[in-house]
Amino acid sequence: MKFGVVVFPGSNCDDDMIHVLGTVLGAEVHKLWHKDTSLEDYTSEDCIILPGGFSYGDYLRAGAIARYSPIMQSVISFANNGGKVWGICNGFQILCESGLLPGALVRNRDQKFISKNIHLRVETTDSLITNKCSKGQVLKMPIAHAEGRYLTDNQGLAELHANDQILFRYCNSHGDLFSDNGATDYIAGICNKGRNVFGMMPHPERASEAILGNTDGLVLFQSLYSSVLQSV
């Protein structure tokens, strides 16, 4: 299994992601430029990462321009053919803008940028990035976003629950649901119905090394990597 990390103008978490995947996890990882148009070297066993940052300065709407970068048509085709795609923070926003994930990410409830450590609760272990977790497990990770409030209508929310697509919800350190940004149903991360596309606002790559004082995020990378290797 190998990883490709897409770099857009304004990405700022691509090197963090490459470090965790390559140095900490020991996986093969490559940078992909947003103007690339082919993913022919990647198979359904591989994973494309859309990292955090502020692609195109978040003009118009976070992720709205990046969604039209040349590489995104290949990413969409890759996902539709079973390839794994994981968007974190700005990457989550791009996935929603591209239609690979349902719902939208909008301005935080109090119209303020939020940058701090938060807690999130694992809502399902039936996903490639949570299968090494326990349902109800509380993880601590940083967030850094102004447009991180997940929004969906009642029908969309019902479908997410019915299909077990909610991966994480914001909570306090005891696991009680709580959110600073006002997300619908406290949602912090979801997957698609096919369970091969994942999106989340918190940053696991910033919580994956002891030197950072937090390794809670590492389990998500380990879940994905080991699951795919075992299936090959």
Positions annotated as catalytic residues are: 89, 203, 205
Distance in angstroms (rounded) separating the CA atoms of residues 142 and 225: 22
Element (H, E) at 162: helix 154-162
Q: Where are the beta strands (DSSP E) in 34-73?
A: 47-50
User: Per residue in 25-62, is it b (16+ CB within 10 Å) or e — as a string?
Assistant: bebebeebebebeebeebeeebbbbbbbbbbbebeeeb
Distance in angstroms (rounded) separating the CA atoms of residues 54 and 119: 23
Contact 71, 35 (CB under 8 A): yes
Q: Which among 101, 86, 110 has a CA at the least distance from the CA of 187? A: 101
Distance in angstroms (rounded) separating the CA atoms of residues 73 and 100: 11
Strand pairing report for 149-151 and 104-106 = antiparallel
Distance in angstroms (rounded) separating the CA atoms of residues 69 and 13: 18
